[in-house]
Amino acid sequence: MSRDAASRIAAALLLAVCAGSAVPAAAATKAPPVEIRIGYLKWGVEHVTLSLYDQPAADDGLAGARLAVADNNTTGSFTGQSFALVEKTVTSTAEALAAQAELAAAGVTLVVAEVPAETVLALADASGAPDQLIFNVAAPEDSLREADCRADVVHVTPTYSMLADGLAQYLVWKRWPRWFLLSGALPKDELWADALKAAATKFGGQVVEERVYSSTDTARRTDSGHIQVQQQLPVFTQNAPEHDVVVVADESDVFGAYIPFRTWEAKPVAGSAGLMPTSWNPNHEQWGAMQMQSRFAKFAGRPMSARDADAWTAVRIVGEAATRAKTGDAAAIRAYVLGPKLEVAAFKGQKLTIRPWNHQLRQPILLTDTRTLVSVSPQEGFLHAVTELDTLGVDQPETKCRLPK
């Protein structure tokens, strides 16, 4: 071997040794991932439903948020970000405020709130943290987006008006414009009934009569409950004006599930029973939703509810904003969420965006009979100058919300 050849081999060996020793050095200097913590306030008050089949799981909502954290971390492994959920269970507004203060003291100001409307307002008004952002995933009251709107709140769950409009569009498309409205006697029932009546007016329907079911309790747990209901409801619905569909406003879940098959006349039922509008249903499988349903079932051991889907979407909004803005800073994430560029994919056929005038998430409304997906609103033919999604709920020219610029 010549001296030049030997020199070249020696140089190559030295370069290889240096390169090998540089790998662990580079790994050692790699920055740790930026941690982004998201708070979750879980409402711990038991909710007893009319149907045992509909009783929510103990981790309803929370399981969706946990899966979204896992999804965020899949992307975060490539972007140098790490997401964590800080969970707190509360049973009153006072407990929620205390939990919020604890989260803020720990630097957690992005909070998913699965709490009633009055608690959402209290949380928004209590904190002075400039980077606070609350994601409402449980309160559908329109007032939270209108007269009582707050700059620190993003509403992921759809409003009563969005749900009612989604249902109304389908009923009008079916040429069932005459509605016999059965309303509950509790305050939330009245809000839901008002939204349904407004939707009828908006899209050309007509409430031919409204009757109020005065009982505020159910006969579900009595041995003769079905006999009592079977005798009462036909009489309750007797002698109604000519109608195409029975529409039920029973947000309190006292009587709605009893209405199908028990009315005096054989009519389809919609609203709180029969054909129901919702943000998500375990039978939704279009636009890749089957993949989500399967992943969630494997993750949580049960079907994915609307509350799970709303909580998942809220946490994914944070993840999307953090990824696009390339930051873990809560103030910067908040700015991106409330800015014009945010879009989030949620297996609904199109990207979801936030309405700038009241911070409500635009989204299609699913119409389901609990076993199948019947349709998705907005329906074909209901047009809008900006997006057909804004035919659902309060549009910008109608809003009473006045957020600071």
Identify the CATH number of the domain defined by range 161-277.
3.40.50.2300
pLDDT digits 0-9 by tens, 332-345: 999 999 999 999 99
User: Cβ-count burial of 115 within 10 angstroms (0-12 exposed, 13-18 middle, 19+ buried)?
Assistant: buried
- Cα Rg of the chain (Å, integer): 26
Domain ranges of the chain: 34-158+281-363, 161-277
Q: Is the pLDDT of residue 10 over 70?
A: no
**Rounded average pLDDT over 50-59:** 83
Confidence of residue 47 (pLDDT cuts 50, 70, 90): confident
CA–CA separation, 238 and 132 (whole Å) = 53
Q: Is the pLDDT of residue 313 over 70?
A: yes
Per-residue confidence (pLDDT) for residue 226, from 0 to 100:
55
Q: Is the pLDDT of residue 24 over 70?
A: no
Q: Which long-range contacts (CB under 8 A, 24 or more apart) does 83-86 make?
A: 83/35, 83/36, 83/37, 83/38, 83/315, 83/318, 83/319, 83/322, 84/35, 84/36, 84/37, 84/38, 85/37, 85/38, 85/39, 85/40, 85/315, 86/37, 86/38, 86/39, 86/40
User: Cβ-count burial of 261 within 10 angstroms (0-12 exposed, 13-18 middle, 19+ buried)?
Assistant: exposed
Question: Which range has the worst mean pLDDT, 20-24, 123-127, 204-208, 249-253?
Answer: 20-24
Output the CA–CA distances (angstroms, integers) from residue 344 to 123, 317, 347, 354, in the order listed. 25, 6, 10, 9
User: Burial letters for 179-205: b for 16+ Cβ neighbours within 10 Å, e otherwise?
Assistant: bbbbbbebebbbbbbbbbbbbbeebeb
Place of tokens 């309750």: 236
DSSP state of 252: T
pLDDT digits 0-9 by tens, 112-154: 999 999 999 999 999 777 899 999 999 999 999 999 999 999 9
Structure-block tokens of residue 239 = 């002698």
Confidence of residue 20 (pLDDT cuts 50, 70, 90): very low
Structure-block tokens of residue 246 = 């029975």
Confidence of residue 28 (pLDDT cuts 50, 70, 90): very low
Q: Is the pLDDT of residue 237 over 90?
A: yes
Q: Is the pLDDT of residue 377 over 60?
A: yes
Task: Please indicate whether the domains covering 34-158+281-363 and 161-277 agree at the CATH topology level.
Answer: yes
The residue ranking higher by pLDDT, 7 or 139, is 139
Place of tokens 């349904």: 196
CA–CA separation, 243 and 261 (whole Å) = 16
The sign one gets for the Cα dihedral 254, 258, 264, 270 is positive
Any idea which fold 34-158+281-363 has?
A: Rossmann fold (3.40.50)
> Sheet of 373-377: strands edge to edge?
276-278, 365-368, 373-377
Per-residue confidence (pLDDT) for residue 192, from 0 to 100:
98
Q: Is the pLDDT of residue 224 over 60?
A: no
In the predicted model, what is the mean pLDDT of the chain? 90
Per-residue confidence (pLDDT) for residue 105, from 0 to 100:
94
**Max CA distance (Å), the chain:** 111
| Helix segments in 29-145, DSSP class H | 62-79, 93-105, 117-126
Q: What are the residues whose beta carbons fall under 8 Å from the beta carbon of 138, sequence distance 6 or more?
A: 43, 61, 113, 114, 115, 116, 157, 307, 310
The residue ranking higher by pLDDT, 275 or 18, is 275
Per-residue confidence (pLDDT) for residue 23, from 0 to 100:
42
CA–CA separation, 305 and 270 (whole Å) = 19
**Rounded average pLDDT over 195-220:** 88
Per-residue confidence (pLDDT) for residue 345, from 0 to 100:
96
Confidence of residue 278 (pLDDT cuts 50, 70, 90): very high
pTM of the model: 0.90
pLDDT digits 0-9 by tens, 67-119: 999 999 999 999 999 999 999 999 999 999 999 999 999 999 999 999 999 99
